[in-house]
Amino acid sequence: MGMSLARLVLEGHRRAGEPPWTNTRGEETWRVRVDHVVVGAERGALSLAAFHRLSLPRIRAELALASPDRVGGSPASASEQRWFHAARRWGALESRPGAGRCDRIYAERFGSPGKLALFAADEAPSSGALGVLAFSSGALEAASALASAVFELPAPRSVAVRVHGSFASRVSGQDLVLALSPRRASVPFSPAVVELCGPGMPALSMADRFTVAGQAAALRSTAVLLPSDETTRRFLKAQGRETDWKRLEADQDADWDELFEVDLDTLEPRIAPRVEPEAARLARHGAGMPVARVVVGGRASAADWGKLAGMMRGRTVDPATELLVLPGSRQVLDTAERAGWVETLRTAGARVLEGGGWPGAGTRSRGPRAGLCFGVGAEECGEGGFEWYLASPESCAAAALTGRITDPREIDVDPEEAEEPGRYAIDEASVLRPFDPGAELPEPEASSFPPGRPVRGVLRGAVLARLRDHAVTDDIVPWGARMLPHATEISALSEHALEATEPGFAGRALSQRGGLLVAGSGLGAGERGEIAALVLAALGVRGVLARGFDAEFHGHLVHAGILPLRLAHEADLRAIEPGDELEIPGLPEALAPGKPLVVRNLTRGSQYTPQHDLAPRDIAILEAGGLLAFHREAVEAQTPA
């Protein structure tokens, strides 16, 4: 049997002579070469701060792009901005503030078929539309990839979506996503790449392709990948990059793990709750619901602006509704202005927010605060109090014109079809080139990134706190507006660790030079788990004994150099009190299969037999002192990690 497109790309990037191994979830895991690393906003700045901790002179990836612009347009903090400036000294490209989100800049200027890219940013990559196999990653993984040009990932399942026919008028890529999402919802989540293929591919415009590729989460996948064909070639030519093009497609006899057939001719406009795309329904079934605000966000392409403008031309936004449009990049805005679409939208009553700051209030509706959105992140929806629905640009235009959810096919206008631009507005000055390796530059300020401590010998310390069942990451780091300026300053964040539930925790941990935590079940669910783990490491937490861990947070603890162990019995948890002195001898050897692993309570003269879910790779990372130290040792030794 032949190979899927994702398998072809991955096989071309496999590290020669390195067999796969099994991770803690029983998944076959590969080490692959990374071509491009893209870092943006908060997570990107954290990646660069982590790279600085490695004390390496240059980035090893073929290309690295650093972009300070956030989803929603809010500016980078001063602490973030200094790391984006520092990236150029290490060999990265830096986009100027205001140039756009890293995902859009990468797709416009650098993405090319067959590349493998890693994104540490606050938005999902959409460059799969170009035939780039692009994955989202954490900050530490991205920093390690910058240092080693290597990424580790579970071998993904191949999910094919074979499309036939072509879209009817006013049906587009978002409707395809919302038709697929309910069909994928019943599948248990596992690493997967969704690939589009089939005779209907020529009917999918680049705007539709970017829309589909940027919604991996809605399709319960880790990436979305499309073939590179003549449509891709025309896009790259319009970007002045036709030489980057090559044909790329799956083998005709590809072996798929799952296969979905979709007839584009039968699709209708759909809407769905923004946080629950699998609950999609036909737009005509929601017709009549008042809409207070319509938002077209930074993931929209220039051609999407053309669709919107085509339906708005000669009409005006309903008096009870706001239409807000935010460009995802300077190129999108300049291209739309050149085509006359910006003037059309403004004449119709839309607000084109070039500065990027979304208003916190101002909706004029007195009715239900429903909102329709396309191409947005949570930050782009403005203030709370709205019930947001995903919709296509065409459905957004229909709602803006009528003030209600409306099937766009019912709008009595005959818009001109918005074609993909034959030439995009290109500003080469928007991306700054790296400094020469020999350039004399001031050293960046010292990073507060925790260095990590090897898990070797006897791990001993006092129990600093006992956390409840299902303690979430916001319990560890109480996130909010006051924390955002310090997103890369781990030492500053650590001052607030557990302050709501364990007053004085940070000072106690520092005065005792660290220690251990005990916790109930389900520890660590929630956002920013990586930052929470790094904050604990910065306070000297060496290990966590819990009844159970959120799977993602378990990985963050390992990467931060913190030993996660499971207490097998509830009685063991109840027997340990804050202040007890514990020790775990014989590390890391005691973590090997069949070896005795014990935790001794020196205060109470008792001991416990914990369990763990650590793969050999995890144990090696812990022994080194975390993921950064693990890769630093490998790079310094000039051997594969």
Percent of the chain with pLDDT over 90: 76
Tell me the pLDDT of the chain averaged across its residues: 91
**Alpha-carbon gap, residue 438 to 454, rounded angstroms:** 34
- pLDDT value of residue 350: 98
**Alpha-carbon gap, residue 48 to 624, rounded angstroms:** 20
Tens digit of pLDDT for each residue in 224-270?
A: 999 999 999 999 999 999 999 999 999 999 999 999 999 999 999 99
Pairing of strands 563-566, 581-587: unpaired
Pairing of strands 370-374, 387-390: parallel
The confidence band for 417, taking pLDDT boundaries of 50, 70 and 90, is low
Tens digit of pLDDT for each residue in 311-320?
A: 999 999 999 9
3-class DSSP assignment, residue 76? coil
User: 3-state SS of the chain: helix, strand, coil percent to 5?
Assistant: 35, 20, 45
Question: Could you give phi then psi for residue 586, rounded to 5 degrees?
Answer: 70, 30
Q: Which residue has the higher pLDDT, 377 or 325?
A: 325
- pLDDT value of residue 386: 84
**Alpha-carbon gap, residue 380 to 395, rounded angstroms:** 18
Q: Name the least confident of 395-404, 438-447, 475-484, 622-631.
A: 438-447
The confidence band for 383, taking pLDDT boundaries of 50, 70 and 90, is low
- pLDDT value of residue 446: 66
Q: Which residue has the higher pLDDT, 591 or 633?
A: 591
- pLDDT value of residue 488: 77
**Alpha-carbon gap, residue 562 to 559, rounded angstroms:** 8
Mean pLDDT of 159-171: 97
Q: Which residues contact 317 (CB under 8 A, 6 or more apart)?
A: 323, 348, 349, 350, 400, 401
Mean pLDDT of 158-179: 97
- pLDDT value of residue 638: 56
- pLDDT value of residue 639: 47
Number of Cβ within a 10 Å radius of residue 355:
9
What tokens were used for 394? 């065409």
Judge whether residue 78 has pLDDT over 80: no
CA neighbor of 208 nearest in space, from 384, 444, 392, 434: 392
Burial class (CB in 10 A: 0-12, 13-18, 19+), 278: middle
Judge whether residue 356 has pLDDT over 80: no
Q: What is the 3-state secondary structure (H, E, C) of 175-218?
A: HHHHHHHHHHHCCCCCCEEEEEECCCHHHCCHHHHHHHHCCCHH
- pLDDT value of residue 361: 41
- pLDDT value of residue 454: 96
**Alpha-carbon gap, residue 488 to 598, rounded angstroms:** 36
Q: Which residue has the higher pLDDT, 22 or 563?
A: 563
The confidence band for 75, taking pLDDT boundaries of 50, 70 and 90, is low
3-class DSSP assignment, residue 476? helix
Tens digit of pLDDT for each residue in 194-211?
A: 999 999 999 999 999 999
Where do the domains of the chain lie, and which CATH numbers do they carry? Answer: 5-266 (3.30.499.10), 273-410 (3.30.499.10), 457-636 (3.20.19.10)
Sheet holding 351-352, edge to edge: 281-282, 270-273, 387-390, 370-374, 293-296, 322-325, 351-352
- pLDDT value of residue 482: 76
- CA distances to 63, 125, 136, 448 from 41, rounded to whole Å, are 18, 14, 14, 18
In 484-592, alpha helices (H): 490-494, 505-511, 529-538, 551-559, 570-575
Judge whether residue 641 has pLDDT over 70: no
Adjacent-strand bridge partners of 584: 459
Mean pLDDT of 376-403: 85
Tens digit of pLDDT for each residue in 47-74?
A: 999 999 888 899 999 999 999 987 655 6
Mean pLDDT of 294-301: 95
What tokens were used for 172? 């587009």
